[in-house]
Structures are given as structure tokens and as C-alpha cells.
Amino acid sequence: MTARYMGIAEELRDAIMRGEYPVGAQLPSEAELATRFAASRGTVRQAVAVLATEGLVGSRQGARRIVLGRERSQSFAELHSFAQWARAMGYRVSGQVLQQRRRGAGATEAVRLALQPGEPVLSVLRLRSLEGEPVMLERTVYAGWIAPAVERIEPGCESVTQALYESVGLVFAYGEHLIDAVAAGVQDSKLLAVRRGSPLLRQRRVTTTHEGRPVEWSDDRYRAGSVTFSIRNSVDANPLVRQMGDLRPAP
């Protein structure tokens, strides 16, 4: 059973997508929506809060809500998983494991994965492609407790996220992402077919379970021009953070 407010949010989102409420237009008042959907004002507020965090509408005390945009944010799965994102966008995606080996956790990795230095981890190098073109190089370190399940995945598997869910029921629930630009190194340039020193978009991330237990720590590098990250924010909700770049050593 899906929640009432989700249904209301969906109806309003559809209306916005259809252009019934064009960008810049006002939404009906909460009271009006409550009547229309035969729900309490609280439920209606939950619904519009969903749209607000999606960046579709904005609001301020005393004035009607306004429509800010029509594109919808992607789901967490689509952000976390390259394959799920690419599929949702309608691209043909493939992946290939190039290296895979167990070793002891380094100092940085241990901190990221909440392990003791030297505890076993699984290091994997994967090349991801869109429409047959190599687009992203992924260097992932998995915590030891999930390593067996990762090793059972076939090397050409498209979606590791999905494989881990299906094999051991693992759900990625929270992520932290660090985004910056780096120059392509020797290995990067060879595998991504770009010149050495050319710009790459780097996304480093830690992903954890529902319980807050870190599962993986990854360094993903995208060929310049292949992908863009997009964020909507407001005075009220601000997910994005800018940091000085000298905070952590290269992995």
C-alpha cells in the first residue's frame, strides 16, 4: 500500500509535467488541495514537501507555492548504480572487471569503511561503457564481509548493485559523494582512451547499509563531456557542499 501523500504528490507532479502548472505559475492553496483530494492539510503539506525536495516547486510564507521546474530528480538507485542510471536514461550499458584481488585495508580505506587498518578488503577495477564506448573507470574497495558475494558475481555483470541485492539481499541505503576534477593518469588514459593529463570528472563515494554500515568506497572517473551532475537547491534545502580540496590523500 503506497501512502496517500505519495499519490497526491504524483498527481501534482504529473500536472506540472503536463504543463497544467507551467514554470513560474502558482499552485493551488493547501486548503484548496485538501478539499480537492479529500485529505487533511497535513497530508497535503507532506505531498508538496515531496515536490519541494525534488526541486519542482518552491514556497515562502504568506505566498502561494510556485513551480520552479519540470525535470524530476533521479532515484537514489539511479545515482548510486551506474547501470541503473544508464538504463533509466535509455542507454545500452556494459561493464568489465579488469582486476580483482583481496588485500589488507590501507589507512584511508580503513577510515572510510569503518575498519581497522589491515582488515581484509576486496579491491576491484571495472571499466564501464555506454553504447560500447568506455566512459568511466571505477576503482572500488569492498569491506571484507561482503567480499565473497562480490567475488561470486560474473566479471561482465552489468549491475553489481542489483546482483548483490538478488544474491544476498544487500540494500545500499545511504551515500556520501565527493566530486572534483583530476588529470588522467597513466592507467586512466589507457583504459578510457584519452590523452594523459586530460580532464576527468571524479566521483568518490562511500555507500552504507540501512544500519549505517559501510559497504564500499569507490573512486569513479568519467571522461570529460560524458556526464554532468545536476543539483537543485534553495535557501531552505541545501544538499550540496563545497569543500577545500586538500583534505584527504589520494587513494
Q: Which does 225 bind (CB under 5 to 8 A by kind): a copy of itself, DNA, none?
A: a copy of itself
State which of positions 127-166 bind a copy of itself (CB under 8 A).
none
Distances (CA, A) of 145 to 93, 109, 113, 155, 216: 28, 15, 11, 19, 11
Please state the φ and ψ torsions of residue 46, each to the nearest 5 degrees: -60, -40
Per partner kind, with CB cut-offs from 5 to 8 A, the member of a copy of itself, DNA, none near residue 198 is: a copy of itself
Chosen residue from 15, 77, 147, 149 binding a copy of itself by CB under 8 A: 77
Nearer residue to DNA within complex by CB, 6 or 183: 6
60, 61, 64, 65: CA torsion to nearest 10: 30
Q: Is 245 in the site for DNA (CB under 7 A)?
A: no
Eight-class DSSP state of 27: P
Site for DNA in 199-218 (CB under 7 A): 211
If one asks whether residue 61 binds DNA (CB under 7 A), the answer comes out as: yes
Among 15, 64, 77, 189, interactor with DNA by CB under 7 A: 64
Binding pattern for the stretch 30-59 against DNA, x by CB under 7 A and - elsewhere: xxx-----xxxxxx-xx------------x
Q: How far, in Å, CA of 234 to CA of 199, rounded?
A: 30
Q: Which is closer to DNA, CB of 12 or CB of 184?
A: 12
Write the burial class of residue 238 (CB in 10 Å: 0-12 exposed, 13-18 middle, 19+ buried). Answer: exposed
> How many CA atoms are closer than 13 Å to the CA of 48, on its beta-carbon side?
25
Residues near DNA (CB under 7 A): 1, 3-6, 27, 29-32, 38-43, 45-46, 59-65, 211
